[in-house]
A and B are shown apart, each in its own frame.
Chain A
Amino acid sequence: MHAIATKSPKAAPSPDRTAAARGASASLSIALAGSGGSGVMTAGTLLLDAAARAGFYGLMVRTSGPQIRGGEAAALVRLAHTPVATLDDRFDLLLAIDWQNVNRFVDEIPLSAASVIVGDPDEGAVPDVYTASGARYAPQPFKKMAKAVPGCWTNMVALGVAGALAGLPREALEAALRESWKRADEKLAANLAALRAGMDAAGGIDDVRRLSLREAPAGKRWLVSGNEAAGYGAIRGGVRFVAAYPITPATELLEWMAPALAKVGGSLLQAEDELASINMIIGASYGGVPSLTATAGPGLALMTEGIGLAVSAEVPIVVVDVMRGGPSTGIPAKSEQSDVSFAVSGLPGDAPRLVVAPTSIADCLETTQWAVHLAEALQAPVIVLSDQFMGQSRAVIDRPADVELEGRRLTAAANTPDYKRYRNTETGVSPMAIPGTPGVVYTADGLEHTEAGVPSSQSRDHRLQLDKRARKLLAYDYGERWADVEGDPDADAAVITFGSTTAAVREAVARVAAGGVRVRLLALRLLAPAQPERLAAALAGVARVLVVEQNHGAQLYRYLRSVYDLPGRAASFHRPGPLPLRPGEVAEAILAWRNP
């Protein structure tokens, strides 16, 4: 295997600070940090909200220590004029309400000499790990300022400072605060005052990159998390039954769906464990209702046998796997793309199934909707590989267009003569009898079976059913959704990736293109079954490929090599979580690969 070894990211060369500060920047990255009750997550959410009101796009990633409440926490925000789906290589601004254990986040908040650190001088010195970057320090006595406004909260002062430094208009920040307010009105006044005090104080800090204000984009926009988008996509696709077992980082998807499903006439059942969840949704789907569950690695492992049952009995189900650090209990609150191997091949027997993966928070909606559609159309299990980064982060996105993609199951008409549930057809999809329909009664079975569904150990039946179950997936036309093909159509090199790394790779490709290095980008949305013809077309003229992914075992790389003939020598750039891949390191990897 030709692996790219890259050095760990160095600090960016020190640019002229004033020049960097002046004028419009492509994007602005702000980290808000603090501990125990300082409310930085809330401040980060409001910052993103205000930015959205001001017409910006943005992304917010949360990170925290191991405590359930009161721990150190940071909100990592990136704002720009175009949709943001990845963090940048550096943060322009680190604003800390206090420094207690904030040094824990040093790898997640990379700074450079062009960065600015704003901290409360009464809360101690900035930790060395941050000053080592050469970033400039601007003190701001947040606590004192908050005390001067009785009844207010310190994080509002910090929000004011951060928002003003970012160049957000006052009205946007105030509106965000007002709209979010759920408590007594007197407190609101105090916090608005604190916000204003923060905004005024920001004037004393210069040399911070600001975003230029532009007109807000036309069209509806949303502020949403990947988990919520996926839940909504499932409902749009027709899901009306969910069995749920809580697991980090999928629980919010299930919690969002609980009341949403009830509203549209569906239901969610909390199960005793994942073995129950998977079997419950198989039962519900056997009954004719499109069904789904969501889990993470450890839960997916428990669902394995159930997924096999869905394959053999040809019952449509969707399992969303919000990937987290593995293996085993792993790193529950962090992201990784290390369930690929398991998703594409982790079943006993020859058990073809579908695996799809959204490429961004926005894409979580349509890809999950597509998953429901595919499951119903092909009467098979679909695994949706989302991840913690997309699932638990929030982004400002353009309202996803309505797509005509509802699950449509081929069902058997009542009293069909000589009805056989698993009848061999050209497409491989057999009409499915829904309980309650007269004249087409059958018994679904995980045992191998005849076309009529009678258990069979005959070679003829096994061969026929195996061929049928494989063919129904391979013969299907997945259309253009299978992958996003971008970049230079004349390039002879291509980068292949999937999932949340797509945005970082996309940005890296754009950067190297600006420097004259031409590369095509292939972001896969359909991982299984393989699409040899489509891939060949997408890679026409390409002499070599680089596979980029966030895991230790180069899982996608190995999988692609096993199911595709990749052109030339395939190379791999991979590293495990918990840190997200950044555009800079991917760009370096691409350059190193192009010029070894």
Chain B
Amino acid sequence: MNDALACAPPTPQTYKSSYKPIWCPGCGDFSVLSSVTKALAMIAVPPEKVAVVSGIGCSSRIPAYTTCYGFHGVHGRALAAATGLKVARPDLTVLVAGGDGDGYSIGGNHFLHACRRNVDLTYVVMDNHVYGMTKGQPSPTTEPDWDSKLSPGGTGVRSFHPLVIALASGANFVARAFSGDPNGTAEIIAQAIRHPGFSFIEILSPCVTFRPEQRDWKNRAHPAPVTATDDPARAARRIMTDDGFNIGVLYAGSRPPYPLGRTKVPVAVAELEAEFAL
């Protein structure tokens, strides 16, 4: 590669592939894609050193729309695949992406344990309170009284609060963002990537097709009135009492991340048989 190119600082375009997203016009995910590319440009990591791992759903289509390595896995298991990748290849920057159905429903179990394990990953959930790709069923963050064909009259089940769960399970960085604020979201993503351990960002990203009323979110989203804390108890109290639209980094802790070290000088394989010898 010629030196001039190698030295040119990356722009967001560096990270955007030529594939046109199939998202409905108006979808918040377009902005999230833009924020991700902006964040990567801020960090200036080469695209080939970044892996974007996703599950199944509209949001999970994102890897192919970047110029990074991508893994479009099965429904709900992106965090597991990403964990394996990061532990095996600590040199890579690993981003995990998906929606609320993929992440909090079928992916719920893996979510809990990824927060506990605190591997250095950045997990971005594009939350639109619905299963978009399968045509509009309630997701765990859907309001209990939202009518749909699969759960007529509403599920009647209290919606899931991912930020509190993340905090209680041990995530090292917890933030909320809004797709309507692409620059702010880009800042948060960049911060999350830089922050060691498991960074979780819940990005409110309206679904223009199945939840058109979410256009109102832009009037409700606002910067959080407080700065990030490193005290989990204080963060928990704030998150449990906020209006669901506080944007910003809510918790940035200092729990040591999952150790990714390798033995400096590996022994030769043959040395392992010593214990069997008679």
Contact = CB atoms under 8 A, between A and B. Distances in A.
Tell me if chains A and B make direct contact, with any CB pair below 8 A.
Answer: yes
Interface of A: 66-70, 244-248, 251, 254-255, 258-259, 262, 268, 270, 272-274, 298, 328-329
Interface stretch (B81-89, B148-156, B180-188): B148-156
Contacts of A328: 74
B135 A251 contact: yes
Contact of A68 (B74, B133, B137): B133
Contact of A273 (B58, B106, B137, B152): B106
Contact of B131 (A69, A70, A246, A254): A246
B193 to A, nearest CB: 27
Nearest to B107: A273
A328 B74 CA distance: 8
A270 B150 contact: yes
Interface residues of B, number: 26
A329 B56 contact: yes
14 contacts: A70-B24, A246-B137, A246-B150, A248-B134, A251-B135, A251-B137, A258-B149, A262-B152, A270-B138, A272-B106, A272-B108, A273-B75, A273-B106, A329-B56
A272 B101 CA distance: 9
Given A68-B209, A258-B150, 4 more contacts: A246-B135, A246-B137, A272-B140, A298-B75
B134 A246 contact: yes
Contact of A255 (B74, B76, B150): B150
Interface string B58-79: 1000000000000010111000
A67 B208 CA distance: 13
Q: State the majority secondary structure of interface residues on A.
A: loop
A66 B152 CA distance: 27
B132 interface: yes
Contacts of B25: 70
A244 B209 contact: no
B24 A69 contact: yes
A298 B58 CA distance: 17
A307 B151 CA distance: 25
B169 interface: no
Contacts of A245: 106
B105 interface: yes
Contacts of B152: 258-259, 262
Nearest to B151: A270
Contacts, number: 58
A184 to B, nearest CB: 21
A-B complex: 6 closest residue pairs judged by Cβ atoms? A273-B106, A255-B149, A246-B134, A272-B105, A246-B137, A66-B22
B134 to A, nearest CB: 4
Interface string B78-116: 000000000000000000000000000110100000000
Contacts of A244: 150
A272 B106 CA distance: 5
A66 B20 CA distance: 12
Nearest to B76: A273
B228 to A, nearest CB: 31
A268 B155 CA distance: 10
B150 A329 contact: no
Nearest to B106: A273
A274 to B, nearest CB: 8
A68 B24 contact: yes
B160 to A, nearest CB: 10
Nearest to B140: A272
Interface in B135-163: 135, 137-138, 140, 149-152, 155
Q: Interface centre among B108, B131, B150, by most A CB within 10 Å? A: B150
Contact of B150 (A67, A68, A254): A254
B105 A247 contact: no
B24 A67 contact: yes
Nearest to B22: A66
Nearest to B61: A66
B106 A270 contact: no
Contacts of A258: 149-152
Contacts of B106: 245, 272-274
Contact of B209 (A69, A247, A329): A69
Contact of B134 (A67, A247, A262): A247
Interface string B12-26: 000000000010110
Contacts of B137: 246, 251, 270
A59 B63 CA distance: 38
B207 to A, nearest CB: 10
